[in-house]
Each structure stands twice: as C-alpha cells, then as structure tokens.
Amino acid sequence: MKIEYDKDLTELTTFKVPAKADIYAEYEDEKDLLELSRTQDFIDNEILHIGSGSNLLFINPFKGMVLHSGIKGIKEYQKDDETVFVIAGAGERWTDLVDYCISNGIAGLENMAGIPGEVGASAVQNVGAYGAEAGDFIHSVKCFDIETRKTLILQKEQCNFGYRDSIFKHEAKGKLIVLKVSYRLRKGSDARNLNYKPLQAFAESLGRTPSTRELADEVIRLRDSKLPDPAIVGSAGSFFKNPELNSYYFQEEIKPRGMDIPVYPASEEGKVKLSGAWLIDHAGLKGVRIGGAEVWPSQPLVIANTGNATGLEVKELAGHIVKTVKLKYGIELQPEVNFIDTSIRVTILGSGTSKGVPEIGCTCSTCTSEDPKDKRLRASVLVETHGMRILIDASPDLRQQALRIGLSRLDAILLTHQHYDHVGGIDDVRPFCFDRDLPIFANPQTAKDLRTRVDYCFRKHPYPGVPRLDLHEIECRPFKIQGLEITPIEVMHGNLPIYGYRIGDLAYVTDAKTITESEKDKLRNLDVLILNCLRVRQPHFAHLILPEALELIEELKPKRCFLTHGCHNLGRHEEVSALLPSSVEYAYDGEIITID
C-alpha cells in the first residue's frame, strides 16, 4: 500500500491537464484495501477511484482521497469445449487483457482492441467499440463495499449495463469498488462479430473470415486513423456519448425539423441512436479551439489537449459544443467523460415565499419597487458540482426560472417537503427527462403526496410525453447521487417535519422554525448556509423571522449566510441588507454563489 499527499496527478490521466489531489493511495490486493478503508484519511475524505484516468477531466484540485487499484493477474477456466471464463484484476491494463485472450486462443474481446484504460473501468463504463461492448461478455464483477467493508459479487444482470452505463455510475458509485471482473468468452481464433461496416469491408477484402488477431490489428488501425496518438496528444477518447433518444420524442420533436440526421437502432427498446460525431461535424465545430483545447478534426467526438490546455478550457469547449449542437438540432450531447470538480456553484432561482413578491394586487412599497432584487419568485436553487446539476425544490415558477438561466439539463431533484410552492413545478421537468427517468429524492410523506399530485406520471402505461420520474424515498441519513454524498437535515416547519440538505460545505434550509441540537450538528463548519427568513419582526408559527435567523446563524457560525424565502413584509432588499451583519446577506433571484 502506498499513500502520498498533495499528489500531482497530471501524468496519471490521459488528458494530461493539470490535476492534483489532497491524498493519493494505491493498494495491491483486497487486504490492502480493507486496511486502507480503516484509516482516518479514508474515513474523513471524499473518495474518488480512478483507473488509468482515461475518462476523467480534472477541473480543479480534488479535495479528498484518490484511490488506484494495483490488483493484477489474469486467470482462465475452461467450462467446456466452447466456453472459457477469464478473470482479471481491476488494475490490469485493458489492452493487456485483450492481447492475452488473443494469444491464448480466446475470442470475444478483439473488437475492443486498443481502448485505453484498465479492466475495472470496462465494467464501470461498459466500454465498447466497433459493434461490441464489455457488458456483452462480463459474467460477474467482484466488488468491495466501502460502507460494510465486505466483498460481494454482482452477476451480469445486477450490473444494469446500458450504453456506456452501469450500476457503478449510479447507485453504486462511491459505494462499490471493482476488484476483479469475470468474462464469459469462447475458445477459438476466428473473429465472428463483423456487424460494423468497416469490419465487414475488411473481411470482404480478405476474402475470408479474419482471425481475432487480424481483426484486432484492423480495429487498432481504424482507431489510429481517427484518434490522436495518446503518446503525443492528450485526450479522453470519445468525449461525448452518441445520443440515444426516446423514439416518441425523436418523431415528434426532432424529425419534423426536416434535418437529414442518420438514425440507428438503439440498444434499448423504444429508443433510437444518433451519431454524435455527425452532429458536431455538421454544426461546423471540427477544429474549433478554446485555449489549448481543440475539437479533433478527424474525429469530432474527441476533444484534444494540444499541449497546454487546462481543465477549465476543455470544460468551456465542451459547453460550447453542447450549446451549439442544441441550438441547431435540439439535441443535448451528454459527456462520456467524468468532470472532477469539487467546487460548488449555486444559482438562486427563487428567493420568495409561497405567494412570491410582488404579491398579486398588493401596492406596498416592496411590491411596487422597481429594484430587480425585490422581484422574488417562489424559493428554489440550482446546485452545480461534481459535473451534476441538482435542483432543490420544483417551485410553481420553475418554467420561468429555467428559461431565465437557459437551463437545459437536470441530473436530479431534491424536495424539501410537499407544499405546493415547493413541488408545483414538477410537471415542468418534462424537457429534462424525455430520454431517461429523472431521479427525485424526497421523504416518505412528500413522495406519497407526489404520487397523488401527479399520479399520471406513475401509471403503468403513462401518456406519451409526461414527466418520467424515478422517485426515491429517503430517510434522514446520508445518501448518494452518482457518488456525491447528500445529507438530509430534518427541521420543523411548524408541526411538519421537512428536510434541508447539506452538500459538501453548502447547506440549504428553507421553511424552518425549529431545529433539534442533533440536526444542528449537521450544519456546523459550513462555507455557505442558505436559510429561510420570512420577515423582520412579526412572529410566525412555522417560519424563522430575522432575529431568530440571526440567532441561529450566530450559533452555527457559517463563513457566509444567505437569507431566502422572504415575503413582502420583509421589506425591500436594500432596507433589509442594512440590518444584516457583514457575513450575512439577503439572497436575490439570479444571484450566483460559489464555493471553491
């Protein structure tokens, strides 16, 4: 076992952009990993497991522990004359595994020759190329459970393999570490998977079925003709996935635009696949550069580091590609690369209470104010971190809020409670889940209410186009979204228990009146606290007012605090701001708060 601090990771990623981690640890076997998992460094830090770094883009230094597997070894077990199982350690190079199989007369993996990365990543990413995917051949995956510190084996059907997807990118992310992968392959040296057109042409040119070695060599030649040489130019291979769209959405929204987009069958029934490279190419983006980052001319799915790119430049170029393709074709490309970004960006979508400000028909000085900071939509925030966009509460003003900031993608929604001003915009999430089920996390009472409020979303055969929701009932204990830990904080909204949420050094608490001492402990050592404050003086049975909010802030001592969920009786933003200490301000709609 090896542990290093303030580790430079630049040469441990294929992008070769500047990258660092607070702690770096490499383990040689399962015993090493078990011992490591009991150390304080492991217990106290966020964990990021990497392979050869071929699918990672570091935007900023990683505040936590980076793990790497040194588990090696390849073994084979012949089941019968046709079938052989090959088991490889997660730390083995993928190309070495493919070469081993070909050299030992074992067929199946040759279409995926030349893919960078390690064996563990083949299960996590469900890597694939030229008509084959690792998930087609994986029999089982041996894992280490971080929470229980025990090993377990997932069978293929438990891994939920999809297009560049698996359970390890979702509910098992940050929970299970891949130790070994078992592949079900066949004895033989003849290549049988020739469905990909260039491989068909290759076989025709030979006048016979190619051997696995010949096919692997041709695959590598094809890859080299399109992709930058990793020894010279940094990249992550394909940066974006080929879009897979709901067939109904494609027929109703994309095809009527009259564009000649090539369409292919998708791996999942009810979907179609489009060529991401075609979309980027026909959007005129080949060769476009931002700083040292470039769209690779011979394969536009690739973003290359031409020598001195930063993670931010690559991210900016990726964002430009996504925006341009979206504007031209109405299709949002999804990155295949993982953005390693522990910074947090919060956008205040709404800072008002249940009736918003101005209130309808009111002529008070706040409601008639011309100051934009006195225009308060119903309370909600957008949190961007770890490459994800997480919405906290879907207010009835969600459509207006999303349009105002140009929101085009959501990864998850956290609901604080079931009151209408916090869930009334659920139907407006339709654009964010036309091609997938959108995860929503809520306490049991809120989940129950939601199933009644928008029951049409949960029917066995829902009407086409309704929001596709993946509703998760959560208890008041930490849970993870794609490896990111979220801590619910139970607060009392009058007599109703509701949730606030802590994400890293940010906490969002709205509609609180009282908080128990044990829940207050979850709110200590914060960089930013966003806290409800209904008005200045007149007490309320279910909401904090200014003196109560300031007393709580003084007790919790966050570095910065932003007040939200204010009604018109709070007063004008300018007036309230004059009453606040230097570390506290009243949030306003559209405000952006960052935590590095």
> Annotated active-site positions, please?
164, 238, 336
Residues 6 or more apart in contact with residue 257 via CB below 8 angstroms: 329, 330
Q: How many Cβ atoms sit within 10 Å of the Cβ of residue 332?
A: 17
Question: 591 vs 154, 378, 381, 587, CA distance in Å?
Answer: 45, 14, 10, 7
Coil/strand/helix, residue 163: coil
What are the structure tokens assigned to 188, written together?
Answer: 């033989």
What are the structure tokens assigned to 499, written together?
Answer: 């949730």
Which of 431, 405, 427, 426 has the alpha carbon at shortest distance from 415?
A: 426
Please, is 74 exposed, middle or buried when counting C-beta atoms within 10 Å of its C-beta (0-12, 13-18, 19+)? middle
Q: Are 578 and 571 in contact (CB under 8 A)?
A: no
577/596 Cα distance (integer angstroms): 25
Q: How many Cβ atoms sit within 10 Å of the Cβ of residue 545?
A: 19
63/41 Cα distance (integer angstroms): 12
Q: How many Cβ atoms sit within 10 Å of the Cβ of residue 334?
A: 16
Strand 412-414, strand 438-442: pairing: parallel
Provide the 8-state DSSP code for 252: I
470/451 Cα distance (integer angstroms): 11
Q: Are 401 and 377 in contact (CB under 8 A)?
A: yes
Which of 28, 247, 212 has the alpha carbon at shortest distance from 105?
A: 212
DSSP per-residue string spanning 168-180: GGTTTTTTEEEEE
What are the structure tokens assigned to 368, written together?
Answer: 């008639």
Q: Are 14 and 235 in contact (CB under 8 A)?
A: yes
Handedness of CA 472, 146, 180, 70 (dihedral sign): positive
Instruction: State which amino acid sits at residue 574.
Output: E
Coil/strand/helix, residue 113: coil
Which of 17, 22, 108 has the alpha carbon at shortest distance from 62?
A: 22
What is the C-alpha end-to-end distance of the chain, expressed in Å? Answer: 31
The residues with which 106 forms a beta bridge, in sequence order, are: 187
Residues 6 or more apart in contact with residue 287 via CB below 8 angstroms: 294, 295, 297
The residues with which 117 forms a beta bridge, in sequence order, are: none
